[in-house]
Amino acid sequence: MEIPDFRQKELRDKYRHDNWQQKHLDPARIFPDDQDLAITGDFAPAFANAFPLMRLIRAAFDAMKVYDCTVPEQRIRTIDLVKELRDSLPAIRDAFLRLKKIADNYPESMGGIAIQEKFDLCEYERVIDTEACKNELNVWLLKSHGK
């Protein structure tokens, strides 16, 4: 990393507007110029629909991990979260399939990468198989009531 000597005017001028901020993304450029708007036009609505569901997934799965370390009041909230997640699985599947269509068509774009990062965070493979996930959550709920 270069360490400039700001006593020299030309070096001061060179760094005058360097504020170390990351360049802001141009929301009009998250997909290639030759994008199919019939596909990418669903990006914002699909993300807006999926985002609360993504938060629910993370909250429920993370709460399940620490369930044994929590007080009874928190356990009740965890059970409620898991039930809400279980009941939301069909909506999650629909929302994720909308996003997956975009990511599959434009995997190297900023939009496709953002979708894939969210899928990784939300354990896509785990929740997209709604029956298996529902069964897993039901088994966990049965075990949690015994504690």
User: What mean pLDDT is predicted for residues 80-95?
Assistant: 98
For 76-121, what is the HEC assignment? Answer: HHHHHHHHHHHHHHHHHHHHHHHHHHHHHHCCCCHHHHHHHHHHHH
The counts of H helices and E strands in the chain are 7, 0
Q: Could you give the CA distance from residue 63 to residue 78 in angstroms, rounded to a whole number?
A: 6
Could you report the per-residue pLDDT of 24-53, keeping only the tens digit for each?
767 678 899 999 999 999 999 999 999 999
Which backbone phi and psi does 54 adopt, to 5 degrees? -65, -40
Residue with tokens 């005058």: 16
Instruction: For residue 24, tell me if it sits in a domain.
Output: no
CB 133 within 8 A of CB 126: yes
Please provide the size of the chain in residues.
Answer: 147
Residues 6 or more apart in contact with residue 147 via CB below 8 angstroms: 67, 68, 75
Instruction: For residue 27, tell me if it sits in a domain.
Output: no
Instruction: For residue 62, tell me if it sits in a domain.
Output: yes
Instruction: For residue 99, tell me if it sits in a domain.
Output: yes
- Give the structural domain span for 75: 39-145
Instruction: For residue 130, tell me if it sits in a domain.
Output: yes
Instruction: For residue 100, tell me if it sits in a domain.
Output: yes
Enter the pTM of the model.
0.79
Q: Label residue 103 by pLDDT band (50, 70, 90).
A: very high
14 has pLDDT over 90: no
Question: Helices 43-65 & 110-121, crossing angle to 10 degrees?
Answer: 20
